[in-house]
Amino acid sequence: MKSILLSTLQALLLVLASNSANAQQYRVGEVVTNFTLIDRATQQPVSLHDFAGKIVVLDWFAWWCPFCQAAAPQLLDGIDHWYETRGGNPQGVPVLHIGVNLQSGQESQTGNFVQRAGLERVLQDFNRAVARRFASSGQPIFAIINGVTNAVDHQPWELLYSQLGYGETSFPIADFRAAIDSVRPAPTPAFVRIVEPRFTASGGFSFEVEGDMPGTLRIETTTDFVDWTEHTAGTISMAGGKTRIEFPAGPTGSFFRVVRR
């Protein structure tokens, strides 16, 4: 009876440990905490946040792994070369493929693998300190992370895609591209040209703007540049490709601005 109870308890502890490990793994949509690994070539620490402004494709491998060997040429052609020749994803965001070596020692074999795979940047994760946040074991492990801080639909450092293994020969590349292509930076504000600025007869100020000013505009006022409130006495009109904005005469010490909602 004691042996049965111990076996049951051990099984329960294994289940709880497994659930705990899974709970610590990132899920798609979560933000990946910054981490630091050692660069294989320079032996210097490199952090995830060093790649801000890029879409980061992390690829954990071991040189002897047959699935890693099968994936390497497809990633080189389908990800590295694909986005290099196109200047990034469809929105122009650079894509950076980084290999992460799981196998310590055996540098010559690892070097041969890195060369065949065309990996320009390789980090070391021998104790799987970072890898286990994406998969409890095995390789290859893939994680695609958004490093664009002003993306429209994704948070900075959001996990876009994660996968353990490479059992198929083509479909993962399509999945990788779909995740990469989903990142869209916020549009750059349009430049406009102010023409005909002048004071009005009532003591206010008016000017016209040439250029694209889409959306709903409103005039706001403040006296301390901290608290801004809408100023309904101002007028905004559009005609002939120009936007005419008139600020009324305000009390001493007041300031105005035009904002787009």
Check whether 57 has a pLDDT greater than 70.
Answer: yes
Residue ranges of the chain assigned to CATH 3.40.30.10: 24-181
Average pLDDT over residues 15-39: 77
Name the range with the highest mean pLDDT among 59-73, 187-201, 222-236.
59-73
Pick from 253, 213, 255, 252: which is nearest to 236 by CA?
213
Q: How confident is the model at residue 132 (pLDDT cuts 50, 70, 90)?
A: very high
Residue 220: its pLDDT value, please? 78
Check whether 5 has a pLDDT greater than 50.
Answer: no
- Kindly report, residue by residue over 140-149, the tens digit of the pLDDT: 999 999 999 9
Calpha distance 19→13 (Å, rounded): 10
70-76 LR contacts (CB < 8 Å, sep 24+): 70/166, 70/169, 71/140, 71/166, 71/172, 72/113, 72/116, 72/117, 72/118, 73/116, 73/117, 74/169, 74/170, 74/172, 74/173, 75/117, 75/173, 76/117, 76/118
Fold adopted by 24-181 = Glutaredoxin (3.40.30)
Q: How confident is the model at residue 43 (pLDDT cuts 50, 70, 90)?
A: very high
Under 8 Å between Cβ of 242 and 209: yes
Calpha distance 109→107 (Å, rounded): 6
Residue 23: its pLDDT value, please? 45
Pick from 189, 188, 187, 206: which is nearest to 197 by CA?
206
Please state the φ and ψ torsions of residue 191, each to the nearest 5 degrees.
-85, 140
- Kindly report, residue by residue over 61-115, the tens digit of the pLDDT: 999 999 999 999 999 999 999 999 999 999 999 999 999 999 999 999 999 999 9
Check whether 156 has a pLDDT greater than 90.
Answer: yes
Whether this prediction's pTM lies above 0.75 is answered by no
Residue 3: its pLDDT value, please? 40
Which amino acid does the sequence have at 44?
Q
Lookup: tokens for 113: 């693998």
* Residue 57 CB-density burial (10 A; 0-12 exposed, 13-18 middle, 19+ buried): buried
Of 27-41, 92-106, 224-238, 247-261, least confident by mean pLDDT is 247-261
Q: How confident is the model at residue 10 (pLDDT cuts 50, 70, 90)?
A: very low
DSSP string, 8-69: HHHHHHHHHHHHHHHHTS--TTSBPPP-EEEETTT--EEEGGGGTTSEEEEEEE-TT-HHHH
Pick from 248, 236, 250, 249: which is nearest to 208 by CA?
236
